[in-house]
Chains A and B, each alone.
Chain A
Amino acid sequence: MAAINRDDVAHLARLAHIEMSAEELDRMAGELAVIVDSVKSVSEAAGDDVPATSHPIPLSNVFREDVVGHTFTAEQALSGAPDSFEGRFKVPAILDED
């Protein structure tokens, strides 16, 4: 069984900005441990001759020429914003802990 404890989950939840109750933390610690174990079995299946891969399709060098394409207007860019001011996204003050 992988060692995922409650503190690890709390830490991850904080990093991911997910609010979790004490019960959820307890439950998730157990579930994550199972998931990590399951994933681990993949590395047991792959031998040393199978390189780690981050992409399912063996492609490389998919590039775009440096040619300007389409853009949004500021109105379009801001159309989904909860709040805006003078053509810019308006967001709450950040880093209030400082």
Chain B
Amino acid sequence: MSTDAILSFEEAMEKYDPVLGFEVHVELNTKTKMFSSAPNVFGDEPNTNVNEVDLGMPGVLPVVNKTAVESSIKIGLALNCKIAEYCRFARKNYFYPDTPKNFQTSQYDEPIAYDGYLDIELSDGTVFRVEIERAHMEEDAGKLTHMGGATGRIQGADYSLVDYNRSGVPLVEIVTKPIEGAGSRAPELAKAYVAAVREIVKNLGVSDAKMERGNVRCDANVSLRPHGRERFGIRSETKNVNSLRAVEHAVRYEIQRHAAVLDSGEPVIQETRHWHEDTRTTTSGRAKSDADDYRYFPEPDLVPVLASREWVEELRATLPEPPAARRKRLQADWGYSDLEFRDVVNAGVMDSVEETIAAGASASVARKWWMGEIVGRAKTADVDPSELGVTPETIVELNKLVEGGKINNKMASQVLDGVLAGEGTPAEIVEKRGLAVVSDDGPLLEAIDAALAAQPDVAEKIRSGKLQAIGAIVGGVMKATRGQADAGRVKELILERLGVEG
């Protein structure tokens, strides 16, 4: 396989202006398929979630899944689209074993949703509007496994095996208008756009939205044009870009590759490219040709879908708060800085923090626990923070123990370990492990006197007003009491002992 020449991203950006476009396929999580009552379930034994409709047997009649239509309308509304009052399905004709019917039931010139937009927030807060051309309903194809050959890729395969469980799973294909003006942010925008679509369909509850399972799949179109030119360049369409990171890398790579082609004076070939995660490069698929003449025509076995305005408004009323709006609201409510909030979001604990606050913790306490204690433990255990086993109630109780002076932060951390080890409630663990803070001043004063005697120079500094030196004495006391003292109280007592005003 030959390696394509590429320019550095920086040089490509100096010379050319990228234009992007995306087709994102979203698998709906309906119980049944788009046109048959066979179950829509991932990961079952091959060819067990099929019936005569999915296998394209002669004389069968497809029937539209009402829930799938409603999910499609919800997606359209969440993408700020207009919803067609009247639309039809169409046959997209092609021969390939992934569809046993020799056509895919899709929509052609009458998509159920059209003319929308999505505002995408980039990492620095810049908002970029992506225009949505359309979102249409269709069905997924079966899964092919290419056998033999060297690489498991289609080229050189001896034969292919087909599992039609996925055949007929409801899909919504979301198509953007050409995205201009992204400049060097194009790769980042690509990733952020797909992430936003995934988040929206997940938030709507209409898709499981797991990219690793192919619930959300992206085809990325890239073209370049010299700066200042209006006419678009020739585009490539990169398929099989199925993680957020891959979307970013694929767009970046195609920009670099196109730039090198254009620099060499050759025209870019309009073609499908295949993304390879291992090498982070694309290779040429087939060139667009008359094989793409799909001879669409209205599906004669299905009647039109009429979306009355009442129905659409009913569905609109069920939409949850959009993810971006929710984030804005939560950050304002919690009073977190941009950085603090982004860390919480990136750590995947926003929902947990929200629940913890709802359970009675303050915003800062909730953040302190999730970010300071739980995220790290989750990472070690290699699970999602929310799946570690810490409930909001546990955090509220732990915090009460700390604020009531029963335990200090260090002990609280040990108590949390106890909770995770299944030793009981925080209060029980404090009891069992004998973790209560030493609050009797007697033993504390003894330890303080010992620490002051051990570090007379530090004691002298504190007496002369250098209060920051107190840490060394506090440290000595904490060590002597094995961490079981209340540091605040220790500080007070030290100052008292030395006759210094705090």
Contact = CB atoms under 8 A, between A and B. Distances in A.
B158 A93 contact: yes
Contacts of B68: 66
Contact of B300 (A55, A70, A72, A86): A55
A70 B160 contact: no
Interface in A65-85: 65-74, 77-78, 85
Contact of B298 (A15, A54, A71, A93): A54
Given A78-B47, A93-B159, A64 B66 contact: yes
11 contacts: A64-B64, A66-B32, A68-B38, A71-B38, A85-B161, A86-B161, A87-B48, A88-B161, A93-B158, A94-B144, A94-B157
B364 interface: no
Contact of B32 (A57, A68, A93, A94): A68
Contacts of B418: none
Interface residues of B, number: 60
Contact of A98 (B48, B148, B155): B155
A60 interface: yes
A11 B292 CA distance: 12
A87 B47 contact: yes
Contact of B290 (A11, A62, A90, A94): A11
B46 A74 contact: yes
Contact of B96 (A14, A72, A94): A94
B184 interface: no
B467 to A, nearest CB: 69
Nearest to B170: A66
Interface in B303-318: 303-306
The 7 closest A-B pairs by CB, nearest first: A69-B37, A54-B298, A63-B66, A66-B67, A88-B161, A89-B162, A64-B63
A53 B143 CA distance: 34
Interface string A43-69: 000000000001101011111111111
Given A61-B305, A98-B154, 11 more contacts: A54-B298, A61-B304, A64-B66, A66-B32, A66-B68, A68-B39, A69-B37, A85-B161, A87-B46, A89-B161, A98-B155
Nearest to B64: A63
B10 interface: no
Given A60-B305, A63-B66, A67-B32, A72 B50 contact: yes
Given A54-B88, A73-B48, A95-B154, A63 B69 contact: yes
Interface of B: 30-32, 36-39, 45-52, 55, 63-69, 86, 88, 93, 95-97, 144-146, 148-149, 154-164, 285-286, 290-291, 293, 295, 297-300, 302-306
Which secondary structure characterizes the binding site on chain A?
Answer: loop
Contact of A70 (B51, B155, B163): B51
A66 B443 CA distance: 70
Contacts of A61: 303-306
A42 interface: no
B163 A88 contact: yes
Contacts of A54: 88, 297-300, 304
Contacts, number: 146
Contacts of B161: 85-86, 88-91
B47 A74 contact: yes
B164 A63 contact: no
Contact of A66 (B46, B52, B66, B160): B66
Contacts of B158: 93
Contacts of A17: 95
A1 B149 CA distance: 51
A48 to B, nearest CB: 18
Contacts of B65: 63-64, 66
A88 to B, nearest CB: 4
B295 A15 contact: yes
B37 A92 contact: no
A70 B69 CA distance: 21
A81 B145 CA distance: 17
Contacts of A88: 46-47, 145, 161-163
A65 B66 contact: yes
A41 B66 CA distance: 38
B46 A94 contact: no
